[in-house]
Amino acid sequence: MSLLADLTAGAVHDAETRAESEPLAQVERRALAQTPARDVLAALAPADRVKIIAEVKRASPSRGDLASIPDPALQASLYQRGGASAISVLTEGRRFKGSLADLEAVKAGVDLPVLRKDFLATRYQVIEARAAGADFVLLIVAALDQPTLVELHTLALELGMGVLVEAHSAEEVQRAVDVGAAIIGVNARDLTTFELDRDLFGRVADSIPSSAIKVAESAVLVPADVAHYRSAGADVVLVGEALVTGDPVATLHTFLGDTS
């Protein structure tokens, strides 16, 4: 089993465990009672400079522990102060040490759109994302067959959320295009092997329609990395590790200033 498959299976199992104490119908009621999702398309719309999705991330399978982040809402508020356009919250608990409670805290602490970043493969997971306040969700093409990708993408839109559809090849970009994705991300990290290819975004960017928001993900540690993605056509860059291991406000100012 690949690491991506293992992470997805674990996330689904943990959701099934939560469903034993909170059935789908109850989660649906909470989701429908939420205030409307914030407009992620407006927040990430192409502009004259790159935009950044700043990530609340405690750990990863490739890097281990990164930061304890005892107060995720405070971390996110620093991202907002630094100029981030949206906040990503890793809610996977086994390898990334996140939770839906982190997402709820962040949503209450900032005015920016909040992404649930996790390994989503079921309707329950998408609906509980909205119930927790997520404004958009991540769907990973490599983790889903096409009918499931279509189903979950449609469900998220019906719930009023945006969707960041993540690809790792031109073929996967085409699958994202086929579901009508308005936000398409290209992850430099192969989630089956966790190897990095910093130039992947540039090779597949032309496969993404001009009507879609182009997001570059992973391999961002210094301003030159942001500039590299911007020059390759990225509208948005998702940054995690560099922001949790240093001064997030100063780092964001530097990243944004060097790519204006």
* Residues tagged active-site: 55, 57, 117, 166, 187, 217-218
236-239/59-60 β-pairing: unpaired
- Tokens of residue 177, six digits: 């295009």
The Cα 188–Cα 250 span in angstroms is 24
Residue 169's identity, in one-letter code, is S
Are residues 48 and 145 in contact, defined by beta-carbon separation less than 8 angstroms?
no
In eight-state DSSP terms, residue 25 is: H
Residues 6 or more apart whose CB falls under 8 angstroms from that of 119 comprise 4, 7, 8, 10, 11, 12, 92, 140, 143
Distance of CA 190 to the CA centre of its chain: 15
Are residues 225 and 219 in contact, defined by beta-carbon separation less than 8 angstroms?
yes
The Cα 236–Cα 220 span in angstroms is 12
State how far the alpha carbon of 142 is from the alpha carbons of 86, 212, 235, in Å.
24, 19, 22
